[in-house]
């Protein structure tokens, strides 16, 4: 995160209340230009509200928002952000081409230039063949692309995306993840992306902002957030975690079993209570002293349910979580 550069987006002490309820409870955040930043958290933690504040759709009750150094408020018409809505919000009475041209028409760009830029954007997103169709004639993935094209053609500094892949099936979602990432690298602008899917966040982001009840729990690279979670909440939300005594935790893929446990890494014995073969890996639930430890092992294993088993982990693989109040 370039230190001296002016951040593309800056939030300072942002609060948003709905009635007495604080949907956003004091957020500070700097987003450096050109980054793919993801707001990650469970449903209702304030991700959409935060994004809408950045986009100027909601007025915060306290705090300040700057985009490209300029304060944002809902009356600003000339904005540096564009939003890709969760439901796409494509204009149903306009063709794909008209939808994509809309922002340029509103910006009073000369006609000839509009045509050229729209065609280039349609080609870039593989929509040239769909240009004369109406949104309802398109698949979910195509509508998604039109929404992206409509926003990107206006060349914003920052693109805001609210769970844009939520409505797609798993396969399409995976594919679009790849395309989104490539697109972001291609256009080189800042993406602020909202999702509750931690895998998606890991896959796409340069920086993940983990949110909890209107606050930021941790900001870091996917690796930071996964390997060095700031607290138990982050460890639990990002990836699966076995919480151990004290403030120790261990990821299932770091649990070792049987005779591969190096000396010094052995931790105890238990019994296999459940086993599921997941293709690339096998998941074991090991019962030990009244608690359950989850282990994921690569490939297939020859252990059966009910078998006694030894387990362990390396010291360096254990997560040391600060206790809640020491944060």
Partner 1 sequence: MAARKTRQIAAATAFLGPPSLWIGALFILPMATMALLSFWRVVDYNIVADWTLANYERLARPLYLGIFWRTIKIALLVTVICALVGYPVAYFLARKTKRFQLILLVLVILPLWTSYLVRTYAWMLILGTNGAVNQALQGLGLTDTPVSWLLYSDFAVTLALVHIYVPFFILPLYAVLEKLDPRLLEAAKDLGGGRWRTFLHVTLPLSLPGVATGCLFVFIPSMGAFVTPELLGGARSIMIGSVVAQQFGVAYDYPLGSAMSLTILAIILVAATLFLRAGRPAGTAP
Ligand X SMILES: Nc1ncnc2c1ncn2[C@@H]1O[C@H](COP(=O)(O)OP(=O)(O)O)[C@@H](O)[C@H]1O
Pairing of strands 308-312, 256-257: antiparallel
Name the segment binding ligand X (CB under 6 A); options: 42-50, 62-70, 281-289, 294-302.
42-50
Distance of CA 139 to the CA centre of its chain: 23
Specify burial of residue 122 (Cβ count, 10 A radius: 0-12, 13-18, 19+). Answer: buried
Considering only residues 4, 77, 263, 326, which one is a binding residue for partner 1 as defined by CB under 8 A? 77
Is the distance from CB of 320 to CB of 278 less than 8 angstroms? no
Binding to partner 1 by residue 243, rule CB under 8 A? no
Is the distance from CB of 57 to CB of 124 less than 8 angstroms? no
- State the CB neighbour count (10 A cutoff) for residue 249: 18
Binding to ligand X by residue 54, rule CB under 6 A? no
Residue 252 touches which member of ligand X, Mg ion, partner 1, none, C-beta under 5-8 Å by kind? none
Dig out the tokens for 102 from the structure: 């809309």
CA gap 4, 81 in Å, rounded:
22
Considering only residues 48, 81, 143, 195, which one is a binding residue for Mg ion as defined by CB under 5 A? 48
Q: Which among 88, 35, 86 has a CA at the least distance from the CA of 195?
A: 86
Residue 45 touches which member of Mg ion, partner 1, ligand X, none, C-beta under 5-8 Å by kind? ligand X
Name the segment binding ligand X (CB under 6 A); options: 37-45, 99-107, 112-120, 200-208.
37-45
Name the segment binding ligand X (CB under 6 A); options: 47-55, 171-179, 202-210, 237-245.
47-55
Where along the sequence are the contacts to ligand X (CB under 6 A)? 18, 23, 41, 43-49
**What residues line the site for Mg ion (CB under 5 A)?**
48
Point out which residues bind partner 1 (CB under 8 A): 55, 57, 77-79, 81-83, 85, 87, 89-95, 102-103, 105-107, 134-136, 150-151, 154
């Amino acid at each position: 995160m370039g230190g001296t550069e002016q951040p593309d987006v800056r939030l300072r002490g942002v609060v948003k209340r709905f009635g007495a309820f604080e949907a956003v409870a004091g957020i500070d955040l700097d987003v450096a230009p050109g980054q793919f930043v993801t707001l990650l958290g469970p449903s209702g933690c304030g991700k959409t509200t935060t994004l809408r504040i950045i986009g100027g759709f909601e007025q915060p009750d306290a705090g300040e928002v700057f985009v490209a150094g300029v304060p944002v408020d809902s009356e600003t018409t000339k904005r540096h952000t564009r939003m890709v809505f969760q439901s796409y919000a494509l204009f149903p009475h306009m063709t794909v081409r008209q939808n994509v041209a809309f922002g340029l028409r509103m910006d009073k760009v000369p006609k000839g230039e509009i045509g050229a830029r729209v065609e280039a954007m349609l080609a870039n997103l593989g929509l040239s063949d769909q240009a004369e169709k109406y949104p309802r004639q398109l698949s979910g993935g195509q509508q998604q692309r039109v929404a992206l094209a409509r926003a990107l053609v206006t060349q914003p500094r920052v693109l805001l995306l609210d769970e844009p892949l939520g409505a797609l099936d798993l396969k399409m979602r995976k594919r679009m993840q790849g395309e989104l990432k490539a697109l972001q690298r291609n256009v080189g602008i800042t993406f602020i992306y909202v999702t509750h899917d931690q895998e998606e966040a890991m896959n796409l982001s340069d920086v993940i902002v983990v949110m909890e009840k209107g606050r930021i729990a941790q900001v870091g690279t996917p690796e930071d957030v996964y390997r060095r979670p700031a607290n138990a909440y982050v460890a639990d939300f990002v990836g699966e975690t076995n919480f151990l005594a004290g403030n120790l935790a261990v990821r299932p893929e770091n649990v070792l079993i049987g005779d591969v446990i190096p000396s010094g890494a052995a931790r105890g014995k238990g019994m296999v209570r459940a086993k599921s073969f997941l293709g690339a890996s096998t998941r074991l639930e090991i019962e030990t002293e009244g608690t359950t430890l989850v282990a994921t092992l690569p490939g297939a294993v020859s252990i059966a349910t009910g078998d006694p088993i030894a387990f362990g982990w390396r010291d360096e693989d254990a997560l040391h979580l600060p206790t809640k109040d020491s944060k």
